[in-house]
Chain A
Amino acid sequence: CNKDFLDLNDPTRVFSEDLYKDANGINLAVNGAYASLQDIYGRSATGGTGLYIFGDVASDNSTSVSTGAGIGDFEFFITAPENVNLLSIWRSVYKCIARCNTILDRIDGIAMDQALKDRYKAEVKFIRALTYFNAVRIWGGVPLITKELKTVNEALEYGRETEANVYALIEQDLKDAEHLTTGLPISYPAATTPTSGLGRATRGAAKALLGKVYLTEKKYDLCKAKLGELLPVGANPYGYDLLPNFADVFSISNELNKEIIFSVRYSKTGLGTGSAFFNWFSPTESGSAIARVGGSNGFNTPRKSLFNEYPKVLPSNPATALTTSLDKRRDASFGRFPLTVTNENAVTAYYSKKYVDDQMSIGLDADNDWIVIRYADVLLMYAEAENEISGPAIAKDYVNLVRRRAYGNASGDLTAAQTLDASSLRTAIETERKLELNMEGHRWFDLVRTDRAVAVMNAHFIADQIKIGANVISITADDKLFPIPLKEIQLNPKIIQNP
């Protein structure tokens, strides 16, 4: 009698242990692994933190308001190990890793359809690879955990792994994910079922990400070979192609279009799965003029210098008319505030049009997905690898493919000077990636990958007069990696801080 009287549990919830008991539980757990990507890329619950604080705020793309939350610290490179955003990303990364590891450890013991089991494993490995790839690019060699941890003491065993070993796991996971028989499918049926649906990781996504990993490791041959499998444009077995109209790529009524290879999905429901980027990125000056509800946080506001990087055509009377650009990407990417401004000098702020949801009715609950990898990125990466291997001859064509959509015709093709040699094309590709992939979280990682971060950023600090007090700031090679969160170092002495 006593035993029953004392044996109480919460009938409104499910025991964690009961999750991994059958195929349905695994399905829910895999969905949970996908959901953890929302935390990493940014979700209302993370209070403003998302990968963009590295990809864009830390780069020369954007500026951020300095709030107590410390997102502005990334712009000024004064990010202390105490920074809450740093901690938040670290937590989200390892939450995702834990969800993946637990599924991988337990799925083999569950009786279920073998093909589905293989696919789930491949999906989870893709998610784990993507997450470690983000982590290794932010912090360098991170603790490499590949199994379910059950006790604190187990966790304390893990110090930092070498970068090479982290990359080895990423590569292996992606190879498993793209495996021809036990890996991911090329696509999913359009009709969503509990176990299937568009937006899950595909074989093409695994290949594209693996290509990006190889490129980051400067394994150009492997990169070219891997990304080559996603070619030719428009006729590859995966169906990827550039959309004719650049703006359509980001439209919330056109998500998962054929240019999208993998994105983190968000949808407004009032149930915590909406995206917050529209509110976060709208400049504070705009109040509720752009994002009508939910506030305008100004966490990630495009710089005027980014806007001005696109070639512009001056109007006849610059006092009463705005500039135009032959590069359609400029006006498809950026809006001006005030909305009614008629004179370029009167613009007080720009905002990214890639994260606009006019239909949003609840703050921080918009539809915009975060595009992780898209076909234009693949073409530019392929060009980069090809250029490093064989120079500009063929490589330039892939860049021009992207530019022809931007200009509508061949008028914008790279000039002879830009394609003179590998070095000049290298510079052209760097710029092209900035223009094409602006505000999509790539810029900082591109600069670090190409060892250009210190030179480009220091030039930008001078050009844009980024100062603390009276002094223009500058960075060194040590700033290429961010500090490990102090709290984690305090909790686990085996983890050593970055220099």
Chain B
Amino acid sequence: QSITIKGKVTDLKGSPLVGVAVKVKDSKTGTITNTSGAYTIMVPNRQSILIFSYVSFVTEERVAAGNTIDVTLKDDITTLSDVVIVGYGEQKKKLLSTSVSSVSAKQIEDRLVATPAEALAGQVAGVNIAQVSGDPGSAPTIQVRGIGSISAGNSPLFVVDGYPLNNADNFNQINPADIQSIDVLKDAAASAIYGSRGGNGIIIVTTKKGTAGITKFNFTSSTGFQNVAKQTDVLSRDEYIDYLTDAFKNGGKTIPATYSDPTNQNTNANTNWQDQLFRTGMQGSYSLSASGGTNKFKFNITGSYYNQEGIIKATNFDRYTLRANIDAELSKKLTLSFNIAPSYAISDQTATGGGLNNATINGIGTNPSGVGGTVLSALLQPPTLPVRFANGDYSNIQAIQSAATQVFNGNPFNPVAVLDLYKDRTSVGRILSNLGLNYEIIKGLKFRTSFGFEALQTNRKWYVPATLMSDNAPLANLSNPLIGNIRSRLTTGTNYNWVSENTLSYNTMIGKDHNLSLLAGYSLQKNTYNEGSQYGQNGTITNSIVEYPNASGVILGTVAYSDNALVSAFGRANYSYKDRYLFSASLRSDGSSRFGANNRYAVFPAFSAAWRVGEEQFLKDNPHISELKIRASYGVTGNNNIGDYSWQSYAQQVNYIFGSNTGTQTFGFSPSGFENKDLTWETNKQLDFGLEIGLFKDRVYLTADVYRRITSDLLFAKDVPLTMGFATSILSNVGEVRNNGLELALKTSNLAGKLKWTTDLNIAFTRNKVLSLSDDGAFLGYQAAFGYDNAIRLVPGESMSSFYGYRQIGVYKDAADVAASPKWVSGGSNPGDIKYEDVNLDGKIDAGDITNIGSPLPKFTYGITNRFSYQQFELSFLLQGVYGNKIFNASDRYVNTYNGSFNVRSNAVNRWRSPEEPGDGMTPRANTTILSSVQVASSRNIFDGSFLRVRNVTLAYALPAAFLKKVKVSNARVYVTGENLYTFTNYFGYNPEVNVWYGASQPRFGVDQGTYPVARTFSLGLNVGF
């Protein structure tokens, strides 16, 4: 005799919850709530128990005692989702024996950011996310548990809905609002299931899936504006003229008279060049989704549009994305899941970072023709120079100098000319798609096969017109177009990646207490990339409209190709006894085309165990302790991120000229490097101990992990003696590095009444140390920036990528000081010159005095999120910080070089002027000759990089249910957010999260050379569901 039970499910505010699963415990009976939150279900008897579950709400159970059961579901305040996605499967969070952090949709929605990673910053213990460039649409760098690699990359592997991405790009393009959850596998035992790609941790993204029920629509709109958070202090016009006068005097020259003529606009303008560079940019994100379906067919489809005007003029980003997730039950035993996510993005770039006349333009290997880096040249342009001359031409310092017959050194090109005239547009079409079939062979035994496909089509064109001043044509200008200066290039790249994965999994209970699950699998993955470039130099006409290579005088082209393949077999076993003792072991074997013929395959084992002490009899009924778990894990993972064909040596074309008179070109070749058949994986061995304590029904939940990660066979493009000839560096396995760390994550629900307050706090300490170098060398070093050779070093016993240089102790005060002190060997020292420490006490300053001057690695990183809610209002703020890292400012080669050619930083006001006016004792005199002592890497380049950033503040208001009902809307929220509102730091530059060339084979952590500043954003959002 079954009984019919009815009821309504609402949230704490009384709003009906649509699509709540209502299930009869230990049966197959179930239903879901309708649009008004109501349900009807048949139960067998009055002892039956109903289970109400809904995403991000606490599951409730009720005994079927009455005929009407209304339920109010509480928000899942601790945001500990029940289930986390691990590689090739999922696991109950409480039953994990490894270190995994999860982030739910709630923690990243409402954020007006281009990439999901930006929203993650500061939210996961041990995951350091740095926004190193503010280029619209650009992705931050992500490091899980310190840096264990110098050249094989420190980026984790991204797995999106089961697809291990070849390229992080397809993660970065996900609309943050599409994400259901992000799980970060941190310890090696968790990530070892991905073997040779697990070394830097795994980030698993699950996108939103449909739930059965009436179709729900959701519209989100967020619009805002961005600006630069601060400017860098440089000399004002009058300070600059004073400085110039001083420099000329010290250089034994006379300053041109034009500087003392206030009517001369060319030398007495008062321009703030940074104002010319930056603007307020608009930003917007809009998406519309529909989800629903039946028990046999569920879907979730989202379309979205994102656009961002950069804070530097001429930079823009537009992205259109579509995502469809479909789940279908084809038969009782066979289910299908299919997702497809096409996107299209257009970005306009300009020359921003890098040197003053040799910008590093994102994605272009070689600078078109010495186009100036605008960020740096905006600092370098003398404030005395107008933006444009009277005839409308862009101002050019060289034109003035020539007229004054005074040679200044170097030529920072007018940044406004670059912003106006240089054109650079990239459009990328992407598709990520995965089809999976699951077949249940017998109860508990499932076979899954999936095939995924990833494609990127990149199209980039850039153009340098005849009128843009550059290294190639310094005096080109609107009135002086130089056709030889024209450069245009069109590059088309196609990237295909496919993956085939086949797994067999078995899950069974043995008796009442023993749970065993087994997994075995085999996978193949292959990636190919094809690129074709056409470029034209020199125009036939001076018309600036010539943008395609076809119209050029000289047309050239190249092709590039690369591919890689991975073959893997893997398995995992999980065993638990009474959910109290948990054991897990996994093994993966990977073969990769990237490694030397002698070292192609490797095996990656992992073990972990946990004891849920809280489940033992003596604690189970403790009213305070809701969870107490200790766990230990050990695993081996690899890092294969070294690019394709790295172990091989290819010939490069080196051409020469033979023949009478001007001769003709003859082709020649030379080896470009050395073969290394032994090249192998970087191996990470990581030991992790974890402790989880939940108090007061998990209202206070602490997760603590200590780990030791040892990376051996460290891959590094090792500089070799140049007497080797063919290569300046060889990719080799060079040594061993250790990262020791402590991570603490504390989630508390401080207030749970009408006013709710939760706090998420995380802090991670990492200590990095180079243990040994395999060739017994004293150190391995490489360049920090042009000319700063071996300024970054790996030295046994010190942290990886330490900065090396001379240590400044002051300036020589006067002749007596020079006479009494060790002197600079290459050219001697004079009063007012930089005084370095004589580290080796040999009475002179030379290369023997180069010493460790800092490390770019932070001592600890932290993040704090506080959320308040009161009735319809919600307020959250996220603080994120880094402490103890040093920045190497390579731009200081120019802005702190006292040679009288460029504007300099404001500290020059405190320079040495005479023995009587020694300034601050650290800033050398102005001079028109650049001494070799100011060209070397030194502690003058080193700055404290610690910061605390107000990363996000959001205030939201949910419209009341009563009102919504009238307008037939199920939910609606409005919110205001601010991103990067303020950064507390001593660093003078735009952004302490600097990391130029982080993707290079010799990454320069903490090196600032004029990167695109990160924006501050204010936005207003609306979210409507109906």
Interface residues in B343-391 (C-beta closer than 8 Å to A): 369-370
CA distance A84 to B935 in the complex (A): 10
| Contact A468–B830 (Cβ < 8 Å) | yes
Stretch at the interface among B542-550, B558-566, B748-756, B954-962: B558-566
Contact A293/B721 with A16-B651, A72-B930, A362-B538 known, Cβ cut-off 8 Å = no
B279 within 8 A of A: no
B19 within 8 A of A: no
Interface residues in A1-50 (C-beta closer than 8 Å to B): 2, 5-19, 25, 28-36, 38
Q: How many residues on the B side are at the interface (Cβ–Cβ under 8 A)?
A: 110
| Contact B720–A198 (Cβ < 8 Å) | no
Which single member of B473, B651, B671 contacts A295 (CB below 8 Å)? B473
Stretch at the interface among A242-250, A320-328, A410-418, A490-498: A490-498
Contact with B along A73-84 (1 / 0, CB 8 A): 100111111111
| Contact B665–A269 (Cβ < 8 Å) | yes
| Residues of chain B contacted by A492 (CB below 8 angstroms) | 721, 723
CA distance A253 to B657 in the complex (A): 15
| Contact A198–B659 (Cβ < 8 Å) | yes
| Residues of chain B contacted by A469 (CB below 8 angstroms) | 250, 252, 830, 927, 929
| Contact A82–B656 (Cβ < 8 Å) | no
A466 CB → nearest B CB, Å: 10
CA distance A143 to B721 in the complex (A): 11
| Residues of chain A contacted by B484 (CB below 8 angstroms) | 292-294, 360-363
Interface residues in B624-671 (C-beta closer than 8 Å to A): 644-645, 648-652, 654-671
A116 within 8 A of B: no
A65 within 8 A of B: yes
| Contact B671–A102 (Cβ < 8 Å) | yes
B393 within 8 A of A: no
| Residues of chain B contacted by A11 (CB below 8 angstroms) | 561
- Find the B residue at minimum CB distance from A265: B657
B131 within 8 A of A: no
Contact with A along B903-923 (1 / 0, CB 8 A): 000000000000000000000
| Residues of chain B contacted by A9 (CB below 8 angstroms) | 645, 648
| Residues of chain B contacted by A485 (CB below 8 angstroms) | 722
CA distance A155 to B725 in the complex (A): 10
B1024 CB → nearest A CB, Å: 50
| Residues of chain B contacted by A84 (CB below 8 angstroms) | 786-787, 789
CA distance A16 to B658 in the complex (A): 24
B776 CB → nearest A CB, Å: 10
| Residues of chain B contacted by A29 (CB below 8 angstroms) | 668-670
CA distance A38 to B567 in the complex (A): 45
Contact with B along A264-308 (1 / 0, CB 8 A): 011111111100000000011111100011111010000000000
Which single member of A15, A66, A70, A493 contacts B648 (CB below 8 Å)? A15
CA distance A25 to B651 in the complex (A): 11
A97 within 8 A of B: yes
B127 CB → nearest A CB, Å: 32
CA distance A75 to B50 in the complex (A): 90
| Residues of chain A contacted by B556 (CB below 8 angstroms) | 270-271
Q: Which of B399, B537, B657, B659 counts the most A-chain CB atoms under 10 A from its CB?
A: B657
A252 within 8 A of B: yes
| Residues of chain B contacted by A77 (CB below 8 angstroms) | 827
Which single member of A7, A79, A491 contacts B720 (CB below 8 Å)? A491
Q: Which of B370, B401, B651, B675 counts the most A-chain CB atoms under 10 A from its CB?
A: B651
Contact A32/B668 with A16-B675, A348-B405 known, Cβ cut-off 8 Å = yes
- Find the B residue at minimum CB distance from A467: B252
Contact with B along A91-127 (1 / 0, CB 8 A): 1001111110110000000000000000000000000
Q: Which of A13, A65, A255, A467 counts the most B-chain CB atoms under 10 A from its CB?
A: A13
| Contact B670–A36 (Cβ < 8 Å) | yes
| Contact A273–B657 (Cβ < 8 Å) | yes
CA distance A287 to B287 in the complex (A): 53
A87 within 8 A of B: yes
| Residues of chain B contacted by A150 (CB below 8 angstroms) | 674
| Residues of chain A contacted by B675 (CB below 8 angstroms) | 16-17
CA distance A2 to B407 in the complex (A): 64
CA distance A38 to B718 in the complex (A): 26
| Contact B830–A287 (Cβ < 8 Å) | no
| Contact B669–A28 (Cβ < 8 Å) | yes
A486 within 8 A of B: yes
CA distance A283 to B407 in the complex (A): 9
| Contact B894–A68 (Cβ < 8 Å) | yes
| Residues of chain A contacted by B789 (CB below 8 angstroms) | 82, 84, 87, 486-487
Contact A149/B474 with A190-B660, A199-B657 known, Cβ cut-off 8 Å = no
| Contact A66–B661 (Cβ < 8 Å) | no
B175 CB → nearest A CB, Å: 34
| Residues of chain A contacted by B666 (CB below 8 angstroms) | 31, 192, 194, 197
| Contact B724–A15 (Cβ < 8 Å) | no
| Contact A156–B661 (Cβ < 8 Å) | no
| Residues of chain B contacted by A269 (CB below 8 angstroms) | 665
B735 CB → nearest A CB, Å: 14
CA distance A98 to B473 in the complex (A): 36
B410 within 8 A of A: yes
- Find the B residue at minimum CB distance from A37: B656
B698 within 8 A of A: no
B722 CB → nearest A CB, Å: 5
CA distance A488 to B663 in the complex (A): 36
Contact with A along B468-509 (1 / 0, CB 8 A): 000111111000101111000000000000000000000000
B774 CB → nearest A CB, Å: 11
| Residues of chain B contacted by A72 (CB below 8 angstroms) | 929-930
| Contact B559–A66 (Cβ < 8 Å) | no
CA distance A154 to B132 in the complex (A): 40
Contact A288/B648 with A68-B894, A84-B786, A488-B721 known, Cβ cut-off 8 Å = no
A479 CB → nearest B CB, Å: 11
| Residues of chain A contacted by B480 (CB below 8 angstroms) | 288
A151 CB → nearest B CB, Å: 8
- Find the B residue at minimum CB distance from A148: B725
Contact A152/B721 with A17-B649, A91-B728, A468-B929 known, Cβ cut-off 8 Å = yes
A153 CB → nearest B CB, Å: 8
Q: Which of B565, B668, B777 counts the most A-chain CB atoms under 10 A from its CB?
A: B668
A485 CB → nearest B CB, Å: 8
CA distance A256 to B658 in the complex (A): 10
| Contact A94–B725 (Cβ < 8 Å) | yes
| Contact A285–B405 (Cβ < 8 Å) | yes
CA distance A87 to B126 in the complex (A): 41
| Residues of chain A contacted by B563 (CB below 8 angstroms) | 8
- Find the B residue at minimum CB distance from A251: B661
CA distance A65 to B933 in the complex (A): 17
| Residues of chain B contacted by A267 (CB below 8 angstroms) | 657, 662-665
Which single member of B661, B723, B932 contacts A255 (CB below 8 Å)? B661
A190 CB → nearest B CB, Å: 6
A200 within 8 A of B: yes
Contact with A along B734-778 (1 / 0, CB 8 A): 000000000000000000000000000000000000000001011
CA distance A192 to B482 in the complex (A): 35
Contact A76/B827 with A29-B670, A363-B485 known, Cβ cut-off 8 Å = yes
B781 within 8 A of A: yes
| Residues of chain B contacted by A255 (CB below 8 angstroms) | 660-663
Which single member of B591, B665, B728, B830 contacts A471 (CB below 8 Å)? B830
Which single member of A32, A94, A284, A483 contacts B398 (CB below 8 Å)? A284
A75 CB → nearest B CB, Å: 10
| Contact B662–A367 (Cβ < 8 Å) | yes
Pick 10 A–B contacts, CB within 8 A, sort by A: A19-B669, A36-B670, A66-B930, A78-B931, A90-B722, A269-B665, A361-B553, A487-B789, A487-B790, A497-B847
8 residue pairs, one from A and one from B, having the closest CB atoms: A98-B725, A78-B827, A31-B668, A293-B484, A197-B658, A16-B671, A265-B657, A32-B668
- Beyond contacts A78-B932, A80-B826, A192-B659: 14 other A-B pairs, Cβ-Cβ < 8 A, are A15-B648, A17-B675, A18-B651, A36-B670, A84-B789, A87-B789, A98-B725, A98-B726, A99-B726, A145-B723, A152-B718, A152-B775, A192-B666, A487-B719
